[in-house]
Amino acid sequence: MSSVLQDPDNTNWPDSGSELSRQELGRLIYASICQVDGPVLDEMRRIRDHAVVNNQAHNLRVALMHRCGWFVEWIEGPPDGIRALLERVALDPRHRSLRVVHESVGKPRLFKPWIGSIAQTTETTGEFARRVMALQERHQKGRGYEPASVWRSLCSPLPGHVEVAAANDGSYQRVMMMSAARTDAFDLLRWLSAHEQRAVVHRRFAGAARDALDVESDYLDLPQQAAAGRRLIVNARKGLAMGMTHAFLPDYAAVVILLDADAERNEHLLDRLLTACQHVHHQPVIVGLGADSWFSDSLRSTTEARGLRWHEARAVGPSSDMATLWWALKRILDALS
C-alpha cells in the first residue's frame, strides 16, 4: 500500500465541522502546579479520555500542556461552561495554585475538543513560575496579551524574558515545514541546528482520535534572522489532522513543503495543507522546496486556484545536500520578511 494513504487526512470527530466558526465565544487560560504522582503522560491520557466526553457535552474545546511541572490549559466555549470547568479544576487534587493568566471574549482558535502536549525544556520550574506571575499581573492590570500570545509565552516562548518575547511576538517570522515523504523536514532542522549551533526544541502533541494520538513537532529559533527573528517549526504529515496545528496555522507567514520525486506524494500533501488553510481562514505563502525536477506546473496552479501564493525554492545540486536546500529556502524566506 502506498504510504500516501497511511497518514490521516482528518480526525473525523463528530463535532470537528468543516470550518472554524467565526462566532465569538469565551476564552480563558490558566496555569497550575502539577500534583500528579507517577508518569504525567499516563495521567494526560486519562484526562483526555474523560475530557473529550465532557467537553463535547458542554461545547468546550480545550488545549492542555505540561511543562516544567506546571499544567497550562486553554479553554474556549460558552462562558458558563468555562467557569464550571474552572471550578472543577480548582477542586481537582492534580492541580495546585491555579492562576488565571488570560480571560476574554473573541474569535475561536481551538478546532478540536481536546489537544494535549508535553514539551521538552531546559527551563527551571522557578523560571517558568516567574513567567506565569508576570502574565497574571498583566492580566489583572488589564494589559494582557491575546490568547495565542499568552499560550506561546508559556508553552513555546520566544528568546528573552516575557516582555521582550511579547514585543517580538507579532513580528517574529514563523515558518512551518512538512515533508511530502520520509522525515526530510526534521533532517533539515537538525542539520540547521548544528550549523547555527542552536538547540532544537522537541514537543509531542496528542489528540483525541485514534488515528492521530501522538505527533512530533520540533522547532528552532533563529533570532538574528528576518526582521525580528525567525522560528522554523517542523510538523509530521499527520499533524495536519491535529487541533494544535489548526489552532496556530493562522500565525505562519509561510508553509514549506519539502518535495519528493514522487509527484503523487507532493500533490496529496499540498491538497491536505490547502484544505486545512481553508478551514481556518488563513492564506500563508506556500513554498515548494526540492530538486528542480520535482516541481510541476500543477503545484502552482492548484495553490493559486485556492487563492494562495506559491513560491519555489529550487535547489541546485543533490537534493540530499542540506546546505543547498537551506540556502535555496532562506532566499525565499528573507524576501518575505
Q: Residue 245's closest CA among 209, 206, 271?
A: 206
Does residue 121 belong to any structural domain of this protein? yes
Q: Are residues 131 and 179 in the same domain?
A: no
The parent domain of residue 182 ranges over 173-336
Averages of pLDDT over runs of 10 residues in the chain (337 residues) are 37 40 86 89 81 81 90 94 92 94 91 78 88 93 89 84 62 94 96 96 71 76 91 91 82 96 96 90 94 95 97 84 95 94
Q: How many CB atoms lie within 10 A of CB 1?
A: 5
Q: Helices (DSSP H) in the chain: which residue ranges? A: 40-57, 79-90, 125-140, 147-155, 162-169, 184-196, 243-248, 263-279, 297-305, 322-336
pLDDT at residue 78 in the model: 93
pLDDT at residue 93 in the model: 92
Q: Which CATH number fits the domain that encloses residue 28?
A: 3.30.70.100
Domain boundary among 145, 169, 193: 169
Q: Are residues 146 and 56 in the same domain?
A: yes
pLDDT at residue 38 in the model: 81
Q: Are residues 331 and 190 in the same domain?
A: yes
Q: Are residues 116 and 195 in the same domain?
A: no
Domain total of the chain: 2
Domain boundary among 109, 143, 169: 169
Say how far apart CA 111 and CA 251 lie, in whole Å.
15
Does residue 1 belong to any structural domain of this protein? no
Contact 29, 102 (CB under 8 A): yes
Q: Are residues 165 and 179 in the same domain?
A: no
Question: By 3-state DSSP, what share of the chain in percent is helix, strand and coil, each rounded to 5?
Answer: 40, 25, 35
Q: Are residues 129 and 200 in the same domain?
A: no
Does residue 192 belong to any structural domain of this protein? yes
Does residue 325 belong to any structural domain of this protein? yes
Distances (CA, A) of 10 to 91, 156, 195, 210: 35, 25, 36, 11
Q: What is the mean pLDDT of the chain?
A: 85
Q: Are residues 124 and 190 in the same domain?
A: no
Q: Are residues 286 and 156 in the same domain?
A: no
Domain boundary among 147, 169, 191: 169
Q: Which CATH number fits the domain that encloses residue 284?
A: 3.40.50.300
The 10s digit of each residue's pLDDT in 154-166 is: 888 887 666 656 5
Does residue 3 belong to any structural domain of this protein? no
The 10s digit of each residue's pLDDT in 227-278 is: 889 999 999 998 887 777 888 888 899 999 999 999 999 999 999 999 989 8
pLDDT at residue 46 in the model: 83
Q: Are residues 177 and 163 in the same domain?
A: no
Does residue 2 belong to any structural domain of this protein? no
pLDDT at residue 168 in the model: 62
Does residue 292 belong to any structural domain of this protein? yes
Q: Are residues 161 and 179 in the same domain?
A: no
Does residue 330 belong to any structural domain of this protein? yes
Q: Are residues 312 and 196 in the same domain?
A: yes
The 10s digit of each residue's pLDDT in 112-122 is: 778 888 777 88
Q: Residue 201's closest CA among 189, 187, 191?
A: 189
Q: Are residues 184 and 73 in the same domain?
A: no
